[in-house]
Chain A
């Protein structure tokens, strides 16, 4: 009981990554929460399992920051759902995030290459 890991911490850990994944997903157009979680799970080849407990706070945080905008509309099944859309600020943020991630990936790649070199 005492060992129960704290909920908040998991979000902290994933926060930057999750925000990026959400913005990336919304690139293709408006989507609701269920759709976003499915898209992330599918696109990352299920490498990430995004829990709703992380995703919804993240969505609302992005909305609060003005990177995405929410509107209620009917889904393909004619069900009222809350759809999220990228705003202009969100697009700008996404570009910035993409280049940041690219840098990170490149840096990690070169690091790993050297590691391999050393091991050889």
Chain B
């Protein structure tokens, strides 16, 4: 743009030039004998419109486009002052949609691309193998495979491997079950993890001649050593192996992957040398995850093709080189393919495969929502356009070009969009804070998931697209405007007939809102029923103590080695606890409420009578610990030990299912794939042993833990019914367990009530999220309704004027308008209800105590949506009824 002084002087020069022209002409006319006044008039007449010429000449010099754009921008900005309600509505809508979506997008994206805390390299890649025949493969390769890759690859250097596992940390303060990794000695260097204190690993740490060394997490240093300065050099035990602490990892570092969060790192070679040497040479055992640094001269594509070659070479040499874990144990991959991808904390987790799909679906949904919102805003602006038809026509006739008018409308749209963009940014901040609170992810998981500049750019793109979309509709309408009839007729001849598209949109929006609100309502009803369900036992005063026994199959670490020993240990602890003061009853179980997966097992009486149920392994006195009694027969006792007849107790529901009215005692049933025969010794009440369940009448069969052939599992929980406060009983129980086996790690403590709350927590979160979506959708639908109603009212101003002139009262007009709105929302409601019922029926399994067509919910939704519709249409109706009769009629 020209500086102001230059423009001024240019304008002055043009004025002078024109004055000279007129003066010369005047002089000539005077010379021809006209009087000075006549000459002046003639000269002026001849010259024409001085102002116009001046402007046209100045325009040659001005950067006319830019100036006009600025003028447009100023014009556009006026919309906020002139139509504050409309602007606020439009801005709010766009901000909510863009802001909300951008938040979710950035969160998922940040989960996908962020490195783990403490990892500082940007050239890291991970290598895993996928098989089209296997849906989810573990990212592990055998150690010999890893070594071969490391030896032969030219595109990737600094190969690291790690093997994560559960470990028992023996520290001065006790035994703790933690996760740790056995790593190659270059682990910290290659990942760029800066060791905060002490050192990382050296190549010589591999041979363990000077003893095993360990690097501990900052958390362990803090919690177990109270940040002691002299922690380096101290000895701890890991899985009962003594190890010397040589370093402390930086705060926040918890392994290269997001889960499970590691606390200990040891050199893999020295550890296995001391424990299970053969695993490092076993080519068919998937053992380690693998990463490396892309060499500076290689591209990712080159690395990919190299690894494709390397893996096929490996396979031709060792046909069974690639394996994965499956429910059936380690199985070979039939068609493995090496995948090299950029490292992130989630690159090796299943989410890496699922999230892009989620993002794609999410983007489509976002765009659709945006389209709906844009349509709403377009409707709002369209209403305004109609109101301004006359204004536009006047401008048009005064010489404003069509493009200029369209530009002005676009400028208005841009003003709204840019404001909305800022608002969206605020919304994004707010929703991310809210979501972080609602979802409560693992600490550190979403720490970086805050709106950033890439997100802002993303939002801006959406906002600009939105602008184009919602300004162009009214703009194009005004393009077609015939000036003449408008100037004559005023507001009625434009926008004849209701836009079918916008009406259809309102119906769709309403249907979607109904669906969302109904879903939220059903989920809420389900959740409240669920959390108030009668458990069948009293969950108060029950302490749950989980101990880690280790695994019997040799793959993990075993605090207690032998199956028999572990079973015996359980009984010893139970005996000890039952004589502990303050303990009323005690037993143990493999499962406590709050587990996410409940797998049922086949239970067979004979070939005809087969059903499924939950099979639970429990200790003696389980019912008593829960405060229950067998209805018939007896409960499991200490006498049901290995070698005796395998026995079971079943709940009434299962008894009815398998035996009808027959007494089930002394009958046998076969359970699971292995058809293990157990004899029924007791029938017990129908309690919800796993907490509220979506099946309100679950079938249960309890067998004695002591009789399970493969021995106790890794984790097992004691159920302690106690007197007195939790604070008082906890140390007593811990001490009692320690007295039986000082080395036994306690993996967790909880109360029955806390675990039961976990069961409904997921439902509660789903309800919260659904409620958020439903509210958003309701707002959008309400605005949509409002926009269409407003547009309609504008169009019908004269009609109302006539009606009122003929004696209709304002109230009557309002009633008529609201009634019309209600009728209009009916199709949306009906479609929505049909959709909801369909969706709810297909998700019946997730509902508890509520039918998919729960009348209460549907009635509530009906009222809510009707109310929305009334509110959304009342305001325009009220405005319409306040029309000035004379005004309205004069438009004719």
**Docked complex Cα distance between A11 and B52 (Å):** 13
B24 at the interface (CB under 8 A from A): yes
A100 at the interface (CB under 8 A from B): no
B397 at the interface (CB under 8 A from A): yes
Are A57 and B56 touching (Cβ within 8 A)?
A: yes
**Docked complex Cα distance between A34 and B56 (Å):** 17
Residues of B within 8 A of A75 (CB): 24
B57 at the interface (CB under 8 A from A): yes
**Docked complex Cα distance between A1 and B396 (Å):** 11
Q: Chain A interface residue count: which class?
A: 20 to 34
B355 to chain A, nearest CB (A): 56
| Stretch from A2-10, A91-99, A107-115 forming part of the interface with B | A2-10
Interface residues of A in 1-35 (CB under 8 A from B): 1-2, 4, 6-8, 11, 32-34
**Docked complex Cα distance between A52 and B52 (Å):** 10
Closest to B399 in A: A6
Closest to B16 in A: A82
> 1/0 per position for B396-407, CB-CB distance to A under 8 A?
010101000000
B392 to chain A, nearest CB (A): 13
**Docked complex Cα distance between A46 and B89 (Å):** 62
Residues of A within 8 A of B14 (CB): 56, 60
**Docked complex Cα distance between A6 and B59 (Å):** 16
Are B61 and A60 touching (Cβ within 8 A)?
A: yes
Are A57 and B20 touching (Cβ within 8 A)?
A: no
A53 at the interface (CB under 8 A from B): yes
**Docked complex Cα distance between A52 and B56 (Å):** 10
B17 at the interface (CB under 8 A from A): yes
- Given A33-B21, A34-B21, answer yes or no on A52-B483 (Cβ-Cβ < 8 Å): no
Are A34 and B57 touching (Cβ within 8 A)?
A: no
Interface residues of B in 54-82 (CB under 8 A from A): 56-57, 59-61
Are A53 and B48 touching (Cβ within 8 A)?
A: yes
**Docked complex Cα distance between A77 and B25 (Å):** 13
> 1/0 per position for B200-228, CB-CB distance to A under 8 A?
00000000000000000000000000000
Interface residues of A in 57-73 (CB under 8 A from B): 57, 59-61, 64
Are B59 and A56 touching (Cβ within 8 A)?
A: no
**Docked complex Cα distance between A53 and B58 (Å):** 11
> 1/0 per position for B1-36, CB-CB distance to A under 8 A?
000000000000110111011011101000000000
Residues of B within 8 A of A59 (CB): 57
> Which residue of the partner chain, among B27, B47, B52, B59, contacts A77 with CB atoms under 8 Å?
B27
**Docked complex Cα distance between A52 and B48 (Å):** 7
**Docked complex Cα distance between A75 and B20 (Å):** 10
Residues of B within 8 A of A64 (CB): 60-61
The size of the chain B interface, using a CB distance under 8 A, is 27
Are B60 and A57 touching (Cβ within 8 A)?
A: yes
Are B56 and A51 touching (Cβ within 8 A)?
A: no
B842 at the interface (CB under 8 A from A): no
Residues of B within 8 A of A52 (CB): 18, 21, 47-48, 53
A79 at the interface (CB under 8 A from B): yes
**Docked complex Cα distance between A57 and B14 (Å):** 10
Closest to A32 in B: B20
Are B17 and A82 touching (Cβ within 8 A)?
A: yes
> Which residue of the partner chain, among A7, A32, A60, contacts B52 with CB atoms under 8 Å?
A7
Are A82 and B20 touching (Cβ within 8 A)?
A: yes
**Docked complex Cα distance between A3 and B59 (Å):** 24
Q: Report which residue of A4, A7, A52 has the largest number of chain B beta carbons within 10 angstroms of its beta carbon.
A: A52
Residues of A within 8 A of B397 (CB): 1-2, 4
- Given A2-B397, A34-B24, A64-B61, answer yes or no on A56-B56 (Cβ-Cβ < 8 Å): yes
A116 at the interface (CB under 8 A from B): no
**Docked complex Cα distance between A66 and B59 (Å):** 17
**Docked complex Cα distance between A7 and B17 (Å):** 21
Are A53 and B53 touching (Cβ within 8 A)?
A: yes
Q: Report which residue of A7, A34, A75, A79 has the largest number of chain B beta carbons within 10 angstroms of its beta carbon.
A: A34
Are B399 and A53 touching (Cβ within 8 A)?
A: no
For the A-B complex, the count of residue pairs with Cβ-Cβ distances under 8 Å equals: 68
> 1/0 per position for A37-61, CB-CB distance to B under 8 A?
0000000000000011100110111
Q: Report which residue of B13, B23, B57, B61 has the largest number of chain A beta carbons within 10 angstroms of its beta carbon.
A: B57
A117 at the interface (CB under 8 A from B): no
A54 to chain B, nearest CB (A): 8
B62 to chain A, nearest CB (A): 11
**Docked complex Cα distance between A61 and B62 (Å):** 11
**Docked complex Cα distance between A6 and B61 (Å):** 20
Residues of A within 8 A of B23 (CB): 79
- Given A1-B397, A56-B14, answer yes or no on A81-B24 (Cβ-Cβ < 8 Å): yes
Residues of B within 8 A of A33 (CB): 17, 20-21
Are B49 and A57 touching (Cβ within 8 A)?
A: no
> Which residue of the partner chain, among A6, A32, A57, contacts B57 with CB atoms under 8 Å?
A57
Residues of A within 8 A of B53 (CB): 52-53, 56-57
**Docked complex Cα distance between A34 and B47 (Å):** 10
Are B483 and A2 touching (Cβ within 8 A)?
A: yes
B487 at the interface (CB under 8 A from A): yes
Closest to B397 in A: A2
**Docked complex Cα distance between A66 and B487 (Å):** 45
Residues of B within 8 A of A11 (CB): 56
Residues of A within 8 A of B399 (CB): 4, 6-7
> 1/0 per position for A80-106, CB-CB distance to B under 8 A?
111000000000000000000000000
B735 at the interface (CB under 8 A from A): no
Q: Report which residue of A7, A8, A11, A60 has the largest number of chain B beta carbons within 10 angstroms of its beta carbon.
A: A60
B407 to chain A, nearest CB (A): 16
Are B60 and A61 touching (Cβ within 8 A)?
A: yes
B484 at the interface (CB under 8 A from A): yes
> 1/0 per position for B483-504, CB-CB distance to A under 8 A?
1100100000000000000000
Are A56 and B24 touching (Cβ within 8 A)?
A: no
Residues of A within 8 A of B487 (CB): 2
B399 to chain A, nearest CB (A): 6
**Docked complex Cα distance between A85 and B399 (Å):** 34
> 1/0 per position for B32-49, CB-CB distance to A under 8 A?
000000000000000111
**Docked complex Cα distance between A69 and B17 (Å):** 14
**Docked complex Cα distance between A53 and B47 (Å):** 8
Residues of B within 8 A of A79 (CB): 20, 23-24
Closest to B24 in A: A34
Residues of A within 8 A of B13 (CB): 82
Residues of B within 8 A of A80 (CB): 20
**Docked complex Cα distance between A61 and B57 (Å):** 8
**Docked complex Cα distance between A3 and B593 (Å):** 83
A83 to chain B, nearest CB (A): 10
- Given A79-B20, A79-B24, A81-B24, answer yes or no on A56-B484 (Cβ-Cβ < 8 Å): no
Q: Report which residue of B21, B47, B52, B401 has the largest number of chain A beta carbons within 10 angstroms of its beta carbon.
A: B21
**Docked complex Cα distance between A7 and B55 (Å):** 12
Besides A57-B59, A59-B57, A82-B16, 16 other CB < 8 A contacts? Answer: A1-B397, A2-B487, A6-B401, A7-B399, A32-B20, A32-B21, A32-B24, A51-B48, A53-B48, A53-B49, A53-B52, A57-B56, A60-B60, A79-B24, A80-B20, A82-B17
Q: List 27 A-B contacts (CB under 8 A).
A: A2-B484, A6-B399, A6-B401, A7-B399, A8-B56, A33-B17, A33-B20, A33-B21, A34-B20, A34-B21, A51-B48, A52-B18, A52-B21, A52-B47, A52-B53, A53-B49, A53-B53, A56-B57, A57-B56, A57-B57, A59-B57, A60-B57, A60-B61, A64-B60, A79-B20, A79-B23, A81-B17
8 nearest interchain CB pairs?
A60-B60, A34-B24, A56-B57, A34-B21, A82-B17, A57-B56, A53-B53, A81-B20
Which residues of B are in contact with A by a Cβ distance under 8 Å? 13-14, 16-18, 20-21, 23-25, 27, 47-49, 52-53, 56-57, 59-61, 397, 399, 401, 483-484, 487
